[in-house]
Structure 1
Amino acid sequence: MGERCCAAVVRVLVLQAAWALSGGQVRYSVPEEAKAGTVVGRLAQDLGLEAGEAEARRLRLVAPGRRASVEVSGASGALVVSSRLDREELCGKSAPCALRLEVLLERPLRVFHVQLEVTDINDNAPVFPAARKNLSLSENSPPGFRFPLEGASDADIGANAQLTYALSPSEHFSLEVKSKDENKISVLLVLTKPLDRETIPVHRLVLTATDGGRPSLTGTMELVISVLDVNDNPPQFNQSLYKVQLPENTSPGTVFFQLTATDKDEGINQEVYYSFSDTFSDKIQDLFKIDGKSGEIRTAGQLDFEDVQSYDLEIEARDKGTPSLSGHCSVNLKLLDMNDNAPEVWVTSLSVPVPEDASLGTVVALLSVSDRDSGENGRVRCWVWPASPFGLEATFAGSYSLVLREALDRERVSEYEVEVRAEDGGAPALRASRGLRVPVSDVNDNAPLFAQAVYTVLARENNAAGAELARLWARDPDEAANGRVSYSVWDGGVGVGGGGGAAGSSSSGGSGWRPASSYVSVDAESGRLWALQPLDYEELQVLQFEVRAVDAGEPPLSGNATVQLFVLDENDNAPALLPPAGSAAEAGGVAAAEAALALAGAGSESGTLWAWAAWGAPAGQVVAKIRAVDADSGYNAWLRYELWEPRGKGPFRVGLYSGEVSTARALDEADGPRQRLLIVVRDHGEPARSATATLSVSLLEAAEAALAAGSSSSLSAVSRSAAGVELGAGVASAATNVWLVVAICAVSSLFLLAVVLYGASRWAPRAAVLSGPGPTTLVCASEVGSWSYSQRHSRSLCVADGAAKSDLMVFSPNFPPPPPAPAAKDTQPEPSALLDTVSGNTLLSSPTRTKSFCPSRCAGFAGIRAPFPLPESDECLTGSSRCLRISMAHLHVPFEGI
């Protein structure tokens, strides 16, 4: 006991020295089973208290959660043992055994931590499972026969629990001890000398187990060995340890091993019965069954590698002899891990919806993946399906992040069904998946887009105000307010082009430009295009403007579309007769044309026209030309002339499309002195409109006709121009008649006058002028007889003195005219040019006069084929517009009749 006290003092000193190093925590050590009152340590002194201060400040011990086995002495402040300390009760087989105590010091209040280590002493002797064990051995058991014994156990730890075995002296038995593994010791009783039941029927031996403590303790078990006389051969296995491997997914009832034990005895002593050892737990017996007769071992329950990896089955084979003998063996069953656990995927965090403009690398979800299997069966591979636009990134073992790998577009895909798939490395591999719904939130990243960049809208003139012209639609794939589109007509920089001729200049005070919003309106919600007023083709032919679509996003985005509104002509203008060329009315210019159109619109007949024809004029001689215009265009402006009266086979006929009145046959006296012709001019509209002209043709002698043609100032320009070379030939014949008349009548003055008139009519140039600036729009037939409708504005050059067999038509392009500006000097219309008629060809006789048409990019001819290319060398720039100037000297054009 003195040695123990010295050891305790040394430990206290060591603990006090470590006090400063441990940062204020006091550590003591005390051996278990110390007597009550044993001083563990001078606690007050170690805490730095003065003598008597521990009691004054009420130094006390708190042992939370368990009964205190130590206490603080109030007078001395020492930590002493108050009750029995049993390390085995406190800590079992755990080492070291440390108790954590709290020491309270009041006035002021402070808490100190004290660690008390209870050291082990050899206070537990080895204990056998039973104090007595009965054994039966046959008298003819051979030397070397081994019988397993159950070893002892010691509650102490370390060297105090290391056991050695000894057998009481015997000439027949010895003891064999060997280690199975680090924790198990096999104790075998070995027969060293044959037994003789008649000499010693019962052997009593003592098996002693001694531990390694100082002093050592021992435990004993009495072995009572009965020697049997008859059954002297026990069952024997061919080996003492069998190793078996079994897949964990083996179904219950499967036989996985069969034991065979042999017994050399005969009869009933040879019959063997197999069973598990009595030491088997109930849990193991619920998992395995053994057939007592055949020795087959089968599974009885479901095995799981993840719970237990191996089993040690102790088997006993006992014969039916009297007394019965037994043999023993061990079956080591090792379970093989099978891939019977699929991976598991959990979503620990999900951040949705994802904005479609989210940056790459944005974390959408956090996932956790695990597999209960081991080895390759538990190695999990994860991926995302479909592969885009998301991907997985491993953060640490079993944890992944679902991140954005590609840019999102809600208009293409508004929601993703993402599946995170996991696959282990087993064969066959097991898979698991977890579905995620990732919606994409919208941002205003799409401007409204029209289906067409340019819309072509056809509207008939004289439409009702408020009529729907078209319906525009712009698609915005965004949603909610970002995709809500409103429409408006945008007037910025867009104007209106008037019709051809004077119609365009008269649309708005002669400017030809008005905002598009004064003609049309668009519904802000539906995109329907409405007409605000009736449209007039003669005023407006092409209206080009832009419609803007704006969404309600923030910021708003917009898109534009160009609308080209073409006004389709209606047959709302009747043909209007023009005054004869060279008459006083023609000198009125535009006023005369407007008067003619007004007259046609009123549906009145024109006045009587006069013409002269010579007796004997051959068939086909042109005596007059009816001129008419129609303010409409296209098919509605294509005019035809019909001789209404007299019907039947009269002496005259009228050209169906030229309006030229010519002789149908040679004129004679039977036709009378005067012919009254009623000519109807019709257009090709539906319904057709018409005008009538009365032509009075006087039949005279050739000389009189020549005199009438030379003296009359109101003679139609059509008659003079159409006569051409044929009229010259007729005058030559009339001159011969004059000479005859002069010879007969001797009227020389008349002869001289006739010669002068003949020379004047033969050699003097015939005057031809460009028609006044009337709103003439002519459309001619195509080569195959069908109609070519042109959206281009047209100008016509009309021959004043008997036009050739067709008209020259120059078309301006399909563009709105520029804003009104002071016209350049060289772009003003030139005065009427003089025309000569030579061999049926039209020659503009003023080579220095030019006619400008702007813009010129689409200038050309339509309806008839021009026999020459337009001269590119005469292109010029006039102001801000590109113009084509056609020199009159180049227009030597023989046109064929339509």
Structure 2
Amino acid sequence: MEEGSVVANLATDLGLDLRTLNKRKMRLDLIANKKYLEVNKETGELYIAEKIDREYLCITKTSSCYLKMDVIIENPIRMFNIELEILDINDNAPRFRRETIYLDISESTPVRERFSLTNAVDPDIGSNSVNTYHLGENEHFDIEIQSGRDGSKFADLILKKALDREELAVHNLIITAVDGGVPPRSGTASILVRVLDTNDNAPRFDKKNYTINLSENSPIGSLVLKLNATDLDEGSNSELEYFFSLYTSEKTQETFSLNPNTGEVRVKEMINYEDFRIYEMEIIAKDKGVNSLSGQCKVTILVTDMNDNHPEISIKSFHSPIKEDVPVDTVIAVISVSDKDSGDNGQLDIHISDQLPFALKESSDNYYELVVAEPLDREKVPEYDITITVIDRGSPPLSDNETITLELLDINDNVPQFPQSFYTIPVMENNAPGALLSSLTALDPDLHENQYLVYFIIEKEIVNTSMSMLFSINPENGNLYALKTFDYEIEKEFLFHVEARDSGLPPLSSNVTVHIIIMDQNDNTPMIVSPWRAHGSVVEEKIPRSTDKGTLVAKVIAIDSDSTQNSRITYQFLQNTDATLFSLDQYNGEIRTMRMFSYRDARHQRLVVIAKDNGEPALSATVTIKLSTVETALKTYSDMTEVPLEYDIFSDLNLYLVIGLGSVSFLLLITILVTVVLKCQNPKPSKAAPPCRNSVISERNSTVADSTLVSNDAYWYSLFLAETRKGKLVVRQPVPKGTRYIVSSIPRSTGLTETSDSAASTLQVMAFKETAVLRRVSNH
């Protein structure tokens, strides 16, 4: 706190009124801590007499720091004990006790090893104290922050990558301590990591193998070679000594000497070419570490007899290119060799490059034939560089070489290969004609015309339709296209073969099986077939108000010509005038009463039902049903019954008509007299018999609307419900080829009561392996 700042009003805090204080001439005074605090005896205000440093006052790092003081009031005398809490601010930065932290770490230290670091200190407390540490970017070390029991933070250095002294001997890191104040303060220190050496590097010679040509009769003490091995370690771990291994023969050790400190090999005895021509020795270099390591090399000393003539190679005949199918033992070149030296220096050895499918056969003195030793394959190796080497047997040996290039000609010996033997290609229905279905590409490793492939579909007829009318393949690249739009409800899959043929002589070919699977798409909207709507989408029904609970009021039936999930239909209310009155089964579409009607219920109920399929996205259709409750009795109708597809032309009803016509003729005169009266009067509606309690009666005068539907045959019988009111015959008859049926609505006879005047309607419905069914609906 700065000097002169007002921190409190003691008079107010002690509950004293200033007017009372002045009137009674009372005075406030401090007894303790007058160095830091001062009080205005007149007003009671408490001032800062000297700048307060919390860290100086409270040396111990505690969560709270108080200045205690005694206040005395005179006239009358009263004394108070007061504690003034000093709050901390972030006025100190973290500081490390040492600016540089030294660490010695062996290069053999395992990864994840932990090293303790000196923590930073911050006189502030709480969030103003040290909060975290950061380590400068490097690839070998990381830090892990720990918390002490008193809340202090300290960091451990973690080795995250193994050290290699030979790569980097000293690592200089920067660690930063940051407090949690706002704004934060920080302090840094250097971490100097010195990598201690371990004997982890074995001595290595400049070369693994040394070959030395040494003339015979070389003087004793002459230097043969000076070996040099190096060790990347330091100190005693890099000090080396040389010696012969146990694999060096006694003859070699008697002939040559080895200096253990310098690695020099010198002649120890006279060398005689005729006695010994090749000397081999194995020399070991070993360091002087605690766990010593060693390395070795091989030295071959070839004693020479002054061989000064090189062999010569001459190509007498060479055939290139040749076909890849030439027989084994075919001669492709004739070679001669020569050397002007004599004795062993004139003895020649000839060979060709390793692992090649050729061989050399001696035909006569110093003449050789180059022949095919193994079957050739241009697709594996199109050409060969054959190096023929001739070497004499001198010491050191002299040699000569000649390289010839043999080119192979291609033959049509590879069958085109498809990556797969069977292709399954899913195609979504309603595809665009000409759409690319897949690319059926075969590979042929041959060249030129032997590699050029032609693709075609192996013809196959399906129901008088060839595959070439349904699919097309690009003969050059094997791209397969659809030539028509497929409908899953009609065609579900196709199976055929595609052949790839090259242009060689004779041509080679292979084929692959293609299975086209038509995928169903939700492209058919559900169609509500019951209750049928003659006009629009509203159906009007009348039901008695005395209907019982659970009575079937209506049944909504929808059909969907899609398949599987896309054709599964569920029903829901979109609108229900009274949710407590009606229920809808979401699976079968039955609407039933949930209770009996009461006098409070409205006479007109409006129900809107949606039929939704299970496709993605879902398609739906709706129907609106207007229900009216009636008190009067309505005429009833019998249930639908199934009868054979036949009826008598001369039925009982027709007989009644004949009798009626005779009666009319007999009463013609009487009828004329009352005709005028009858025309003036309106016909009175006849009273119908009281309805059955559980029946649902419809008074709509509708017929099946003129339309054509394509659907599954699951609910075709629901179409008959629309004609039950008019006593018509509903007949479903197959059309040619038996693949579809026609559902027709025709009158029973001209003599039926209340015969509909509307024209008969037809409904075309998809069906499979079913028979026609006839239903008769008659009036009581």
**TM bin (shorter chain):** 0.3 to 0.5
User: Could you tell me the TM-score, scaled by structure 2's length?
Assistant: 0.41
Larger Rg: 1
